[in-house]
Chain A
Amino acid sequence: NAGVTQTPKFQVLKTGQSMTLQCAQDMNHEYMSWYRQDPGMGLRLIHYSVGAGITDQGEVPNGYNVSRSTTEDFPLRLLSAAPSQTSVYFCASSNQGQAYEQYFGPGTRLTVT
């Protein structure tokens, strides 16, 4: 199993550009989520999904869209990049059973200039 994969690993955008961060998991997990990590602030939840076709907002959803057409994939779209979106983005997945252990992808380091 590859676990949770994310692409790209690094990305530089200009203000106003749009892009999609890819996330995929091969563990058949129902729950998937996107976090952003900024220095001194831990991980903040952007959007999450409890299954294909179902998405919801987390703590910091503004400027981001998600979709969940399949169990495996959960892409994150930046609509119009802003310097405030410079961050490290992590995708995570977990089952909905007792454990709820979250498996994180390797992350995408995004810089918006």
Chain B
Amino acid sequence: GQQVMQIPQYQHVQEGEDFTTYCNSSTTLSNIQWYKQRPGGHPVFLIQLVKSGEVKKQKRLTFQFGEAKKNSSLHITATQTTDVGTYFCAGRYGQNFVFGPGTRLSVLP
């Protein structure tokens, strides 16, 4: 079946440092979504990327979709303690999405 991998599994950063998580699919994706889950909470939609090579920004967050539509990345500039949580990518295959295992981000003040 389809697999979505994410690295790293964990990331500890000092507040103000940058953070990047990478997502890779075994096959070409229709589109990819990113979600954030705070500790004890539920996943919350951040963004969807559809086009090859697409780049989208949300304040300090930059999302990229690879040219081959098999990989994606989320970059956070100058992390803040409010960025703590687990970031998931979800690749769309047909009608459904397959989630990566997530990257858990800790931000030390």
Contacts and interface: CB of A to CB of B under 8 A. Distances in A.
A53 interface: no
Interface in A33-76: 33, 35, 40-45, 48, 50, 58-59
A100 B96 contact: no
Contacts of A31: 95
A48 B33 contact: no
B43 A104 contact: yes
A44 B92 contact: no
B48 A101 contact: yes
Interface in A65-113: 90, 92, 99-107
A105 B99 contact: no
A90 B43 contact: yes
Given A42-B101, A99-B48, A101-B33, A107 B96 contact: no
Nearest to A35: B99
A42 B102 contact: yes
A50 B95 CA distance: 9
